Amino acid sequence: MQPLSLFTDQARCHPFVELVRAWACHYPVSHAFAGSDADSELADSPRFGRDQETSIRDGFDKIYEVFWLNVFGPKLVNLVGRERMLSTPAHRVEELPNGCVLLVTWPIAAHFTHPEARLAQARALVHLRPELDFDTVLRSLHERNAALTPVEPRFPPDAAPLLSRVLDHGSMGERPRRTAELNAHPPPEPEEWLPADAALTSDVPDTQAALEHYSLMAEFLVSVLHSEVPSILEETPESLTDADFHFWVFRFPEIFERHHIDARLVPAIGAYLGEVLVRRLGGQWIPRKNTEESQVRVGSRVWLPFVRAHKAMRSCQALLDFSLTQLYRAAERHQV
């Protein structure tokens, strides 16, 4: 549930406005606003087109934008002119005892995308900034509406647990665009498998020693991640998704040197994926001297977890295209 869903009628909005009014009367501010977080992101708040250093240095030194609810401090009031500010066309404009001005553009916060609410927002901003072009301002607001139009995720079921996490991690303002991108470029079906009757036979002299080696490699991954990803200890499908997401959020393929990734991390990830296939799907290791050729038999297929790990760690995008999550889910579907 988004916070604005609590403010879909005026009866809910009015007490909040009164709360802000009381706060602003007791604690004067230079500027404050309330409204849609996603909309403020699309307005580039708090930078408003400036670089970070400038925005930090100057703050809200002029009226860059008007949102649903606004509190303008005495300095901004004087900059615009008290009479002009108090004559702003808006739902509510009130001068506070300490020289601040409270301005509410529309009665209902959650209706900020309604055409009439956007019209009121544009009129208020152009009134306070008469050098701005009204049509340009209104067009910009409508463009923000278009960017905020919800997009229904259509993720492949096997990849959905990870892609949904990726989506939730991003900003609300970017969510529709990001959803559309992920819908348009779904991860390919896993190709790291062979029919069971085409499996390579084991060529290691000591199968038990090979299995113990895989277990030790998987434990290395657990030792690396267990503090930040506690579920890694459980060896479950969910722990694979948690690991995928952790690698993506912290950009493992970019922040670690390639030779360390290939020499230590990829084998550990591949072994861990294989161990989960064994533990949760009743898989059976088929060890090979060449680690990348090692397979796990699940049902009528054999899977190549080390090949999958190698592909996944090529880049941050590859982490989404070749996730551990998706391979496990595919193996689960084909285990019979």
Tell me: pLDDT of 4 over 70: yes
Average pLDDT over residues 253-278: 98
Q: Which of 165, 158, 134 is nearest to 308 (CA)?
A: 158
CB 109 within 8 A of CB 13: yes
Tokens of 310: 């190698």
pLDDT surpasses 60 at 1: no
Cα 297 from Cα 294, distance rounded (Å): 10
150 phi, psi to nearest 5 deg: -60, 145
**Alpha-carbon distance values, 267 to 233, 271, 311 (Å):** 17, 6, 12
What residue segments make up the domains of the chain, in order of their start?
3-148, 160-333
pLDDT band, residue 5 (cuts 50/70/90) = confident
Which pTM value belongs to this model? 0.83
Q: Which residues touch 112 (CB under 8 Å, ≥6 apart)?
A: 4, 35, 36, 39, 67, 68, 106, 118, 121
Average pLDDT over residues 291-309: 98
Closest C-alpha to 173, from 113, 225, 117:
113
Instruction: Inform me whether the pLDDT recorded for 15 exceeds 90.
Output: yes
Residue-level pLDDT at 2: 56
Q: 233: closest CA among 223, 245, 246, 247?
A: 223
Over residues 159-188, the mean pLDDT reads 96
Instruction: Using a pLDDT cut of 70, give the percent of the chain over it.
Output: 99
Nearest-angstrom CA–CA distance, 132 and 153 = 38
Mean pLDDT, rounded, for 103-113: 97
User: Which pLDDT band, with edges at 50, 70 and 90, does 6 fall under?
Assistant: confident
Encode pLDDT of 75-95 as tens digits: 999 999 999 999 999 999 999
Look at the block and give the residue holding tokens 């990803």.
229
Mean confidence (pLDDT) of the chain: 96
Give the full edge-to-edge strand order of the sheet including 284-286. Answer: 193-195, 301-303, 295-298, 284-286
18, with CB counted inside 10 A (0-12, 13-18, 19+), is exposed
Q: Residue 35 region, left (φ>0) first, then alpha (ψ -120 to 50), else beta?
A: left
Kindly tell me the burial class for residue 5, based on how many C-beta atoms sit within 10 Å of its own C-beta (0-12, 13-18, 19 or more). exposed
pLDDT of residue 185: 96
Secondary structure (3-state) at 315? coil
CA distance 138 to 144: 10
Interval 100-111 mean pLDDT: 98
Can you tell me the mean pLDDT for 214-240?
A: 98
Pairwise CA distance, residues 181 & 116, whole Å? 30
Q: What is the pLDDT of residue 304?
A: 99
DSSP conformation letters of 91-120? SEEEE-TTS-EEEESSS-GGGTTSHHHHHH
- Dihedral in degrees, nearest 10, Cα atoms 269, 271, 275, 276: 20
Provide the angle, in degrees to the nearest 10, between the axes of the packed helices 175-184 and 160-169: 150
E-strand ranges in the chain read 31-34, 69-72, 92-95, 101-104, 193-195, 284-286, 295-298, 301-303
